[in-house]
Every structure is written in structure tokens, then in C-alpha cells.
Structure 1
Amino acid sequence: MDAPPSHHEEEDDDDQLFLDESDIIEEVPFDEEDLPDADDEAVSDAEILEEPEDDDSVHVFTGHTGELYTVACSPTDATLVATGGGDDKGFLWKIGRGDWAFELQGHKDSVCSLAFSTDGQLLASGSLDGIVQIWDIQSENLKCSFEGLGGGIEWISWHPRGHLVLAGSEDCTVWMWNADKGSCLQTFSGHGGSVTCGDFTPDGKLVCTGSDDATLRIWDPKSGENIHVVRGHPYHTEGLTCMAISSDSTRALTASKDGSLHIVNITTGKGYSSRSYREMKNPPRHNKRVGFFVVIRENAVSLCLMWTVWRERNRKAFEAAERPMTD
């Protein structure tokens, strides 16, 4: 067994070390102004982290007094923006014109959905009071107002080639109006839960709607007939949150609170494929978006999915931590 160090060896380790000029390797000059003052307070790490980031915005609109719930940009004027929020107000304003804003008056609850017509001439605003208002952009006047829904507006969509407007409601129904004539054309009934998402197909021939009842329904907009209902295993087990329709009007991509994605053949009502990536602890409710280039946000991690639809498989996935991507 090794002997412990002697008392003298411990003293040797504690001997003081002296340096003389021969041990100097390099002299570094300094300016006394570079030294900190005695009165200077140390900056904590927390204070450094709280320093604001650079503001790169080109315009700030401050008309709202509450949270913003929805934003829409004109398809024909890159400077024209509409916003709605929890202050029961909607505004139409222009980037670069801080002194101009037009208030979308008349709503009695949070303005939660906005949509411009495809030609940019009209704007639809929907509120939790169940009212949809149509605004003429050029004249800045209220063109017409639609009532009768028994619940708040979940979403609004325009026909791709006309002034037909579609809206889904918390009362399980979908309504379609002619905005030029101010008349109701169709009411779609059949869902057993809030209609959380929907749209016309790009060719304008069909309507697809998704609901909190975990079903996708495909409708004929002219007759109001429910052509297909997609539900049950292996489809979503919880409510749909959003959808996207392919440009050729043949497929719908739907997302659900159960964390799954499904691609459905709109013509047949049959599924192409389905994928479940991870359980969402805080699933989105509504007004979220998916597309055939999909971005899913879960907490601080973003998952970017590239999906090869025809081969029915996930082509590649990218993960990026702490910098969530928006949809």
C-alpha cells in the first residue's frame, strides 16, 4: 500500500511561488479609460437576456385595444391589410399609411375571421356573435350583412371565381351566400360538432368541411347534397382542426387534435394515406393551416414534413428546436 504523503511534502506543495522579470512572456499595454469604474454596477445574465431584439418591421398598426385573432391580406393590393381581434373590432388599413384606417363597425363580439374575395373587391368579416358582414373595398361601405347562425363564426372562404361566400359555425352548420345579391343560397347541415374548417375546391365545383365531430364532409354546393362522409377507423379519432385542398381539386389533407394527418380522395371519399407523428399536448383549435408542404408546431420544436403524395409515404422530415415555424 502506498504511504500517505509526509507532513514535509504537504508543506512543499503549499510553498509560495515567486516570479521575476525573466518569467515575463509578453507585456500588454492598457488604457486606464478601459478599466471599469468602482461605481459601475454589474449587469446580470437575466438583464442581458431581456434586452429587446431589433425591430425590423416596416409598419406598426396600433388601432386595436385587445388581442388580435385574425389577419387577412388583399390578393390584389400588397399594402392592404385587414385585422380583427378580441376588442370586438375589425380594421382595414394600409402598410405605409399610418394615418389611415377604416373600422369595420357593427360586430358585437370578437372578430375572429376575415377573408378577401379572390378579385380583392370585397372583404368578409365574421364574429363570435354569429354575424358575417360584407364590405366593399373601393367605397369603404358595408355592402350587406348575414345573420341567422346560432353560433360564432369559425372560418370564412370565398368561391375561387365569384362573389359566393362560405362560412362555418359553432352551431354545426355551414352557410353559403351570394354577396352581390345579399341572399342565402344554401345551408349545409349534418355535422355533429362545430364546423372548424372548410373551403371550396379550387375548381369551385365542391365544398369540403371538417368538424369537431371528427368527420370530413364533401358537398354539392348547388343542391346542398352531402356526397361523401369520411369518418371512423382509420380516419381521425378526434376533431379536425384544419384542411388544405390540392390545386387539382382531387385530394384533401386534414389534420386533427389526435395528432394525425390524412389525405382523402375527394371524388371517392376514400383515404389515400394517413400518418401520425406525435401526440400533441396542446393541439390547435381552429384557424390553423396545413398544406401539401406541411409545417407542424409542437411547443418549441418545429417539424417540417415533405410528403410524396402519390407514393403515400413521408419523404423527409426536418426538425428545428427552439425556433418554431409558422404555418
Structure 2
Amino acid sequence: MLQKHSKEDMLENTPPHRPDIDGEDEMFEEIEVDGNEPPQDDDELEMEEITLAELEARLGMQDDDDDENDAEEEAKDRERISQIKDEAVVTFKKHTAPVFACGLHPQNSWAVTGSEDDKAYVWDVATGEVLFEIVEHKDTVTEAHFSHDGLYLATGDLSGEIFVFKLNEQKEENPIFHKVWEYSMSDMTWMFWHRGAHVLLAGSDSGEIYVWRIPSGDCKILPGESSRCEAGELSGDGKKLLTAYINGTVRLWDLKSCQVLMEVNEQHPMGFQEITHAVVACEKDSPFYICGEANGKLLFCTNNGPVSTAQADHGIECIAFAPSSAQFKLFAIGSLDGQISIWDYSKYSLRTICESPVPNDGVLGIKWLNDFTVLAATTQGNLNVFDARTGTLKFKLTGHYYHIYEFVYNPTESILLSVSEDNTAKIFRIPPLGE
């Protein structure tokens, strides 16, 4: 997932889709003058005289060059977009700004999406019809999730305002949800439901982690160290929480006692120094954990602490374990330079590189669709599906044309929900995956 903090820096870990204009710092050159130098002759002080009109013309010429460059970039964008085939079966266009959050209801054919327009919608995945609208947020909605049983819906925004809604007993009731709880915390970096209980967890920019029981609102706070909690994930047994912080600390918490079971800080020989971006992953069937950071370092841990490290040849934006560890112990990592690699964590070694169909198409998210099929969402709006054993592309889904920020897969219905900077959410049908 992407962690964001304010509307100005929410994309700090994501490349812009338009090039930045460099050279601003070069517009002014610092010149040192020695006050003891003798005065110069008037001839040496001669300066070119120009009129205001001439100066405006010169500046106008520079502006014209910039305008031409912008026009060229926009033309290239239009050309690229016009060639994209939209393979989505449904496109939801109600949002008026980039869409960052999404979820699928576990029983009903409903999707939820949250956007920079400060709104969240629940809508029908077959028709795109809006079923429920959330307008109380005053900042970008970056989290929107149904609980494991679909009874509750939680939405959260960058400022830390969180709302929880409960599904009405009668589906015919309108609205279909009603608010049962809300909370204002400090700036939020991530939020998700527990996999098996009505427990909501959230990390903060100040480092504290909140654990609420819903709907009572009973709260436990896991203390921080004034360092942003960048990432968090539940252990396979659902009893522990793995977290990573910007100061480089990695912790494993016991959720019942709120005690730290394992910690790796910058003092540890295997630890991280201060980092700009971190991701964590927990193996489903055993107490095994991975933390990766933007410079490519991987840290492998058990309940007792670090066991090994490795260095990827590329930065790490996202990471995910394969769903089964019975035959192969695999995980995948993706980077903003477009690299996708499959690793064997039993050997702490690289297994294969996936062959991306578009060079330098940055990877923003990775999920496994089955034991040997991995899907990568990219900065150019592609959903690329690879065979993890060979690294070859199985197929790709197109329709978005800018960054895909989040996506959710329902294997029972073989549908995929994705949301993008292009202001849309899309439903795709996933073809048969084989073994």
C-alpha cells in the first residue's frame, strides 16, 4: 500500500506522470565580491542596455519554449491514452479526483472506493450504481475496507478521521449502512481490519498504533518513538503485528499484551538505518517475516529476531508472500524502476526476474492470484500477470492510463477491482489461471 501524509506529499514515493521542470536552482548564480579590490573602470562596468519590451520579449521566448515542451508532453500523453484498449467490464466514474482506496464486500456484489475528492462510495460491481455515499471526510480518503464478514465498513482519511458504518439487517433499507463509530487520531499512514475479528488497526505519522474493538471503541495504543509508522501487517496466526518505522526500527507486537516480542533497530548489525520507505510481509503458515526498504535491503526475521539479510538489485516499493509454502517458499518484490523479482526465502536468494512488457513501468503494488501467479500494478496503468516459476508474462489487463494505487482480487468470482490516479475505479474479469 502507499502511505501518505498530506495532499502535498502523498505521492513522495511515487514517480510523477509528467516530468518535473529542472533547473530552478540554476536560475541564480551566487557571485562572491572582494570588497578590497580596486574600483574598475567605467568601461569594465558597461552592461547591455535593453528596454522593458525587449526584456519581456526574451522572457516570453522562454515561456514559449516551456509551453511548447508542455504541449509536446500532453500530445504524447493523449497519443498513449488513445491507444489503450479498455478491457474493464465496468468503469466507475463518480469520483472527481485520484482514487486511492478500494475494497470488495465478501458476500455481496459491492465495491467501496475512496478518493482525493474527500468522498467514499459503495457501488454495485455489475452496474456501477451508487448504493451509499460517505461525504463526512474533510481530507483525502486513503483507506476503505469491509470487515472480514462484511458487517462493517471503515473509511479513513489522511488527517486521521475514521468512520465505521454497520450494514443494516434488511438489505432493502436505504441507506444500506448507518454510522456506529468515529474517531479522530493524528495523521494516518495505514489502516486495516483484523482478518477474523471486528478489530480495526491503524498506524500514525507520530508512530503510535491504534487497535480498536468495534463497535464499542475500546482502544489499545501501541507506543511509538516520534517516528512515522510506515507499514504494518498481521502475522499468519492473527495474534501479532509486524511494523516498520522511518527511523529504521522493525517491531513484532503481541496484540493481546501490547508487548514487543522482537525488535530490530539501527544498533543491530542486521538493522536498517533511517529509511524513506518500508514494506513488510508475514508468511501465512509460519512465524516468518520480511521487511524491505527503498534502497533494496531485505531483512528476514522470526519471532526470535533477525536471521538473515539480502540485497536486491533494485529498490523495493512493494512485497508479498506467495499464498502457499508447501512446495516453493516464494515471495515477490516490485520497484519503481519497473523491476519485478521472485525470491526463494528458504535460501534467501533470487529465483527469477519477471519480464515486464513495458520498460521502466514502475510497480506500485503486487499480489498473488494463486500459488504461482503474481499480478503487478504499474505507474502507467497496467495490470501485468506473470508466471512466477518462469518470469514470463501470462497476460495483462489494460484500461487505466495513470498510476494504479490499489487493487483487490476476489478469486471466487474471478474479478479484480482497481483504482487509479485517472479518477476511475474499474472491474476486470480474470481469465482462468491454471495451476
**TM class, shorter-length:** 0.7 to 0.9
The alignment of Structure 1 onto Structure 2 pairs a total of residues equal to 270
State the Cα distance separating 1:256 from its structure 2 match: 0.8
Q: Secondary structure at the match of 2:89?
A: coil
Judged with a 3 Å threshold, the aligned counterparts in structure 2 of structure 1 residues 68 and 175 are, in CA distance, closer, same or farther, namely: same
Judged with a 3 Å threshold, the aligned counterparts in structure 2 of structure 1 residues 49 and 63 are, in CA distance, closer, same or farther, namely: closer
Q: Secondary structure at the match of 1:60?
A: strand
Distance 1:88 1:48 in 2: 31
Q: Contact 1:218/1:227 (CA < 8 Å) preserved in 2?
A: yes
Structure 1 counterpart of 2:246, from 212, 218, 225: 212
* Bigger relative contact order, structure 1 or 2 (CA pairs below 8 A, ≥6 apart): 2
Distance 1:222 1:76 in 2: 29
Distance 1:215 1:309 in 2: 21
Distance 1:316 1:297 in 2: 15
Provide, for residues 66-109 of structure 1, a one-character-per-residue CA deviation record: whole Å limited to 9, x for no partner: 111122222334x3211111111111112122332311232111
| Alignment partner, residue 310 of structure 1 | 346
Structure 1: stretches of 5+ with no match in the other structure: 1-44
Please state if 1:223 is matched with 2:257: yes
Judged with a 3 Å threshold, the aligned counterparts in structure 2 of structure 1 residues 81 and 170 are, in CA distance, closer, same or farther, namely: same
Provide, for residues 137-185 of structure 1, a one-character-per-residue CA deviation record: whole Å limited to 9, x for no partner: 34411121122x22x221112222210111001121100001131222x
Judged with a 3 Å threshold, the aligned counterparts in structure 2 of structure 1 residues 243 and 76 are, in CA distance, closer, same or farther, namely: farther
Please state if 1:260 is matched with 2:297: yes
Letter in 2 for 1:235: G
Could you tell me the percent identity over the aligned residues? 23
Judged with a 3 Å threshold, the aligned counterparts in structure 2 of structure 1 residues 143 and 235 are, in CA distance, closer, same or farther, namely: same
| Alignment partner, residue 190 of structure 1 | 224
| Alignment partner, residue 116 of structure 1 | 146
Structure 2 counterpart of 1:126, from 149, 156, 178: 156
| Alignment partner, residue 298 of structure 1 | 336
State the Cα distance separating 1:49 from its structure 2 match: 6.0
Please state if 1:276 is matched with 2:314: no
Judged with a 3 Å threshold, the aligned counterparts in structure 2 of structure 1 residues 251 and 222 are, in CA distance, closer, same or farther, namely: same
Q: Contact 2:314/2:339 (CA < 8 Å) preserved in 1?
A: no
Provide, for residues 249-301 of structure 1, a one-character-per-residue CA deviation record: whole Å limited to 9, x for no partner: 40112121222222211x102x2332222354xx74xxx553343131333x3
**TM-score normalised by structure 2 residue count:** 0.57
Distance 2:178 2:281 in 1: 32
Q: Secondary structure at the match of 1:180?
A: coil
Q: Secondary structure at the match of 2:354?
A: strand
| Alignment partner, residue 30 of structure 1 | none
Distance 1:74 1:191 in 2: 36
Q: Secondary structure at the match of 1:103?
A: strand
Structure 2: stretches of 5+ with no match in the other structure: 1-74, 169-175, 323-330, 367-435
| Alignment partner, residue 132 of structure 2 | 102
Q: Secondary structure at the match of 1:154?
A: strand
Q: Contact 1:272/1:312 (CA < 8 Å) preserved in 2?
A: no
Please state if 1:320 is matched with 2:350: no
Distance 1:73 1:260 in 2: 33
Distance 2:290 2:192 in 1: 17
- Compute the RMSD of aligned alpha carbons: 2.4
| Alignment partner, residue 19 of structure 1 | none
| Alignment partner, residue 95 of structure 2 | 64
